[in-house]
Amino acid sequence: MDPLHLRAAGTSVLVAFHSGEVEIVHWGADLGDSLPDLDLLTPPIPHSALDVPVIAGLLPQSSSGWPGRPGLRGSRLALSGTAGGGAHDGAVPGFAFSPALRVVSAEATPGGRGARIVQADPDAGVQVISELTLHSGGLLELSHELANTGTTPYCLDELGTVLPVPGEAVELLDLTGRWCRENHPQRHRVGQGTWVRSGRHGRTGHDSSLLLAAGSAGFSNRAGRVWAVHFAWSGNHEQYLDSLADGRRTLGAAELLGPGEVVLAPGEAYRTPTLYAAFSDRGLDGITEAFYAWFRARPSHVGTTAGRVRPVVLNTWEAVYFDHRLEPLLELAESAAELGVERFVLDDGWFRGRRDDHAGLGDWYVDETVWPEGLTPLIERVTGLGMEFGLWVEPEMVNLDSDVARAHPDWIVRPTAAAAADGGRLPLEWRHQHILDLANPDAWQYTYDRLDALLGENDIAYLKWDQNRDLTEHGHAGRPSVHEQTLAAYRLFDALRAAHPHVEIESCSSGGARVDLGILARTDRVWASDCNDALERQTIQRWTQAVLPPELVGAHVGPTHSHTTGRVHDISFRAITALFGHFGLEWDIRQATPAERETLRRAIALYKRHRGLIHSGVRINADLGEPNLRLHGVVSQSGTEGLFAAVSLGTLMAEAPGRVAVPGLDPERTYRVRAALPTPEDADWADSFTQTAPPRWIAAGATASGRFLAEVGLPLPILRPEHALLIEAKVTEQSVSD
């Protein structure tokens, strides 16, 4: 069979076939038109080794001699029902612990950007169909579907999506975190062995690695060669870098299945979640560009490129928490509208029995004691003020103190097959809540019907869809069922979206515990973190946005005194931080001082002026020497304008930051740069800097070429710790006509 060569945006994927097997021999830089004779790739055979060259198959397998983590693990053994209670005294029909998959067919998909490869082992009774697509922006998509072609049930332990990376990839960067500290990077040198990131939370997890990136020594934001993967799945999973003694390396991911969780009857199939992968020869920003291009080309994408502008949000959570009273909420809505807010989101606390977080989950009826006339008086005022109305829900959960739990105890997830009445125990509580078993069709239907009714009966433009606990000991009928629960939750999103296509949905999970491309196939933004502290948000957003474009990442200006960290930040730092996302407020703005309100008003106007740019442009993260200084921003695709934030995360080593490179603008064009926030009109202007005089350009702006700004830079003012400066750059008239 001839090799398949996929090419896009500086990336090549070369799939070759030898001796009936299939191998990705290259995923990396573009190889151009002409390919050599692939015999040139045959490796030497060392002493004390297999007598044939070992292939890193598309599904690495032991039958080809692959000594690393296999791509497929499964068997019929556990289910064979052999006599003797586990004694190994009889043949197991169709026993297949080590399949030997051989290529049946391979074809390029129309347009030449994809490949569909079928492999099978008829003796083992398995067939695997693999699909690869290289999207126009350079993002590679890979998934497999395994079918049981045997005559007995097949118990699947793991089906992995794996890609090769070269020996040059000697450093690994992955992300981790916890509640209120999601997506923080960790880095180390790659040695021999396997680096595994396991997620057993039953949801994506606060500590999940949104990106697993291997790269050349010292790769940075804008330099070095990087290979990175993301696994699009919201349940249990593992991501890994396998570095073998023979020098080969793979990056991979697989759903983490429990014992007996996926048992395929003859003819049944299992599909892996999709692995998304990008290569860059210009550091992490190149990886980000490939992901953004893919997101923005989706028909369902919200944001500027799709003509769906992201409205300014006010969320009530850190403003009123569970204190739902109509009059104060009407005041809040009026105060928000007066500032220019465009969407008002009523958070947790509106449904039956929900006076705090001990009760009510599952009873998706408006609480008549708090809202005697329903939500209508609030919704009508909100929409009358020109804003959209949004509502918080947590459909996958249930409190024991709820009508639904009392009526249907069998709808609550348990680790054993026994019902409650028969002593079936419950998993431990988490935030006083349990999980509704969506694999139970009645429970699923009830939840669908309630949400469908709420959306049908009220003028709701947006749902904040929360999921606030790990799925521990998650079983259905006595078997692990995170897999089934995840698919059932996906079906719930999909069905509601199909019935209410104009309702936008946010994925929230105690902040950012369900942020992945699986959930984003059915939602329109994520809540990156419950932490609204701007300092923490600088890091959380930088790394969330390594994969997700800013229009999908909710970012709110929180209260002056952060509720989750206790830090106090000036308004301009909070506003500049939230500007580089889907901007909103989450604060009782009735308490803001008149000066804070004025800066907030200016920030909202700035967001409205620049959201088209922020939500469609190229993301820039400069490489700076000062560990506590950051410069990030966005440049329009046409290169005519840029918006940057210079941010001090703490005290600087140097007395002054000096000239700081502003990369990403067109080197051949001339730009006018000016400081946009804070300005001398803002209350926190004086507090933001520690200097006797700012650099001259701050007062009146300055003109420089993109080349000069990138190579020589801008002298920054001396920002106080935990302050920021917003900088606008716009092509000069003269440069535009050049």
Would you please indicate which residues are annotated as catalytic (active-site) residues? 466, 530
Binding of ligand GLA by 728 (CB under 6 A): no
- Using CB under 6 A as the binding rule, whether residue 554 contacts ligand GLA is answered as no
Please, what is the minimum distance in Å from the beta carbon of residue 354 to ligand GLA? 9
Would you count residue 261 as binding ligand GLA (CB under 6 A)? Answer: no
Handedness of CA 375, 376, 379, 382 (dihedral sign): negative
**Footprint of ligand GLA on 379-438 (CB under 6 A):** 392
Instruction: Tell me if 313 contacts ligand GLA by CB under 6 A.
Output: no
Instruction: Specify the stretch interacting with ligand GLA by CB under 6 A; choose among 23-31, 251-259, 269-277, 506-514.
Output: 506-514
- Determine contact, residues 256/238, Cβ cutoff 8 Å: yes
Q: Which two tokens stand for residue 303?
A: 């944001």
Pick 303 or 554: Cβ nearer ligand GLA: 554
Nearer to ligand GLA, 321 or 365 (CB): 321
List 351's β-bridge partners, or say none. 366
Considering only 141, 157, 289, 530, the residue that binds ligand GLA (CB under 6 A) is 530
DSSP string of 381-417? HHHHTT-EEEEEE-TTEEESBSHHHHH-GGGB--SSS
Q: Which is nearer to ligand GLA, 323 or 338 (CB)?
A: 323
Q: Which positions ≥6 away from 26 have C-beta within 8 Å? A: 12, 13, 14, 164
State how far the Cα of 258 lies from the Cα of 260, in Å rounded to an integer. 6
Q: Which amino acid is at 332?
A: L
Please work out, in degrees rounded to the nearest 5, the angle formed at the alpha carbon of residue 644 by the alpha carbons of 643 and 647: 155
Instruction: Tell me which stretch binds ligand GLA (CB under 6 A): 47-55, 129-137, 255-263, 508-516.
Output: 508-516
Please report, as a single letter, which amino acid is at residue 350.
Answer: W
User: Alpha-carbon dihedral of residues 362, 363, 369, 373, nearest 10 degrees?
Assistant: 120
Q: Which of 75, 468, 507, 735 binds ligand GLA (CB under 6 A)?
A: 468
Q: Does 341 bind ligand GLA (CB under 6 A)?
A: no
Asked if residue 182 binds ligand GLA (CB under 6 A), the reply is: no
> Given the complex with ligand GLA, which of 391 and 579 has the nearer CB atom?
391
148 binds ligand GLA (CB under 6 A): no
Query: Nearest to residue 315, comparing CAs of 613, 105, 585?
Result: 585
CA dihedral (249, 251, 253, 259) in degrees, to 10, reads 10
Pick from 348, 533, 551, 641 the residue near ligand GLA by CB under 6 A. 348
Rounded Cα–Cα distance for residues 183 and 514 (Å): 12
From 511, 559, 639, 717, residue interacting with ligand GLA (rule: CB under 6 A)? 511
Q: Which stretch binds ligand GLA (CB under 6 A): 107-115, 215-223, 224-232, 507-515?
A: 507-515
The phi and psi torsions of 441 (rounded to 5 degrees) equal -60, -30
* 182 Cβ contact list (under 8 Å, min separation 6): 206, 511, 512, 513, 515, 528, 529, 540, 544
Residue nearest to ligand GLA as judged by C-beta position: 348
Q: How many helices (H) and strands (E) does the chain have?
A: 14, 39
Selected from 174, 396, 466, 524, the binder of ligand GLA by CB under 6 A is 466
Binds ligand GLA (CB under 6 A): choice among 134, 463, 508, 726: 508
Residue 479, φ and ψ in degrees, nearest 5: -120, 150
Please report whether residue 347 would count as binding ligand GLA according to CB under 6 A. Answer: yes
Of 292 and 392, CB closest to ligand GLA: 392
Work out whether 470 is an interface residue with ligand GLA (CB under 6 A): no
Angular region, 511: left φ>0, alpha ψ -120 to 50, beta rest: left
Give residue 537's identity as a one-letter amino acid code.
R
Mark out the alpha helices in 201-298 (DSSP H runs): 284-296
Shortest gap between Cβ of 475 and ligand GLA (angstroms)? 25
Question: Torsions phi, psi of 655, nearest 5?
Answer: -65, -40
* C-beta closer to ligand GLA: residue 66 or 392: 392
Closest distance between ligand GLA and the C-beta of residue 315, in Å? 7
- Min. distance of Cβ 317 from ligand GLA in angstroms? 5
The span of 242-250, 417-425, 503-511, 628-636 binding ligand GLA (CB under 6 A) equals: 503-511
Considering beta carbons, is residue 174 or 530 the nearer one to ligand GLA?
530
- How many CB atoms sit inside 10 A of residue 690's CB? 14
Positions in the binding site for ligand GLA (CB under 6 A): 317, 347-348, 357, 392, 466, 468, 508, 510-511, 527, 530
